[in-house]
Amino acid sequence: MACLLDKPPESCTKVNVKRIEQEADKGSAAAQKRLGDLYAQGHCVAQDDAKAASWYRRSAAQGNADAQYELGLFLLEGKEVAQDATEAAAWFRRAAEQNLHPAQYALGSLYLQGRGVPKSQVEGYKWIRISAPQLDTHIHDVLTSLAKSMKQDDVDRAEADAQIWIKAHEENGR
């Protein structure tokens, strides 16, 4: 079942949806996240952002990092939920603390914009750096662009903070 939930087959049948619904109703955070995905994408079910947000919220409350990230996106955009950048940032942070890289990037982006969190280039740089421990080309270029408008001391501090965080969490990044 875990395999089915984590990686659904290309052609999703009604039987699979029912099974996922049953698991979700029983309280499986993974099934709740998967059901949120199905409703968000309109895959095997009628597309319904309100239901997607609801299932993401139930899963997120149980600590599912992927659901926390998705819920954060819904809240940031105000997609069938009250737009709330502060709450979005809080969910991104909870997922980021679990080392979910997209959530770390999102949290960094919010710091740069000052949306839902106090505006801070240092925090923005730090979280975006944390989102890419291997520093891929795109993230490298984002950070290079960002650093142009920062003091070198601040860049160094953000980089150092990020490295400390990465080292402390290097076992479970995803």
Interface residues with another protein (CB under 8 A)?
Answer: 73, 76-79, 82-85, 102, 105-106, 108-109, 112-115, 124, 128, 136-138, 141-142, 144-146, 148
> What is the nearest approach in angstroms of another protein to the Cβ of residue 169?
21
> What is the nearest approach in angstroms of another protein to the Cβ of residue 166?
18
Please count the other Cβ atoms lying within 10 Å of the Cβ belonging to residue 139.
Answer: 18
Q: How far apart are CA 128 and CA 126, in angstroms?
A: 6
**Of the two residues 84 and 97, which places its CB atom closer to another protein in the complex?**
84
**Of the two residues 31 and 85, which places its CB atom closer to another protein in the complex?**
85
**Of the two residues 28 and 131, which places its CB atom closer to another protein in the complex?**
131
> What is the nearest approach in angstroms of another protein to the Cβ of residue 19?
30
Burial class (CB in 10 A: 0-12, 13-18, 19+), 97: middle
Q: Do 106 and 122 meet the contact criterion of CB atoms below 8 Å apart?
A: no
Q: How far apart are CA 105 and CA 131, in angstroms?
A: 5
